[in-house]
Amino acid sequence: MFHKEGFTIIIVSFLLLAVAAIIVDYFIAIKWLKTLLQVFLFVMLILVLQFFRNPNRPPLGLTDAIIAPVDGKVVIIEEVEEPEYFKGKRLQVSIFMSPINVHVTRYPVSGEVVFSKYHPGKYLVAWHPKSSTLNERTTIVVKNQLFGDILYRQIAGALARRIVNYAKKGDQVTQGTDAGFIKFGSRVDVFLPPNTPINVEIGQKVKGGITLITAKTAD
């Protein structure tokens, strides 16, 4: 299954690569070079397809847990000052997505979207300390009955040039369902109440909609 945000790119890529394959077959007489180019074109198509894959992951529907919103590797777990919405201390959990990860964003909790804002910006590498405040990004806050306001931020990386965010203020959303997409490398930060017990650790690989960030009740 492929994400709807990739349909146009997949079709265009397939047509361009098919034309390129025909040209290679028609004009390249050297057998080893022809084979090498054909393999290269096939690999390029596979890379496009794998980037936009959207594995079927039924929502867990957990009322006492916050789940990872994306696939990737945990790169930050620390208490920080969150200046945009909370304007105070929060526990930040950041997940870095490489180009080979699934790039679907999923809601970490169920509840009502109370804040959703897009910010244009730079395209620093996603692990840069200032990427969360300088890069292109969206900030979304979901009010959950148990945990209160949970903020997650989609951050564009050095390769990303478009963030897709489906969350609109007033929406009632379900944990684990499709919340958006980030194209070609990125990071997602989740901001939790201070002292929230964390079930993941630095360097751990997580799966969006499956891995539990915390399964404890919030303070």
**Which residues are CB-contacts of 79 (< 8 A; sequence separation ≥ 6)?**
89, 90, 91, 92, 194
Count other Cβ atoms within 10 Å, centred on residue 22: 10
Environment class of residue 57 by beta-carbon count within 10 Å: exposed (0-12), middle (13-18) or buried (19+)? middle
Type of residue numbered 66: I
Task: For residue 117, give the amino acid letter.
Answer: K
Residue of 94, 110, 131, 186 with catalytic role = 186
CA 42 – CA 215 distance, rounded (Å): 43
- Collect all residues with Cβ–Cβ distance below 8 Å to 192 and sequence separation of at least 6: 66, 90, 91, 92, 93, 147, 150, 198, 213, 214, 218
Nearest to 61 by CA among 106, 97, 104: 106
CA–CA gap between residue 59 and residue 178 (Å, rounded): 10
Taking the C-alpha atoms of residue 17 and residue 70, their distance in angstroms, rounded to an integer, is: 29
Torsions phi, psi of 37, nearest 5? -70, -40
186 is annotated as an active-site residue: yes
Any idea which residues carry the catalytic annotation?
A: 186
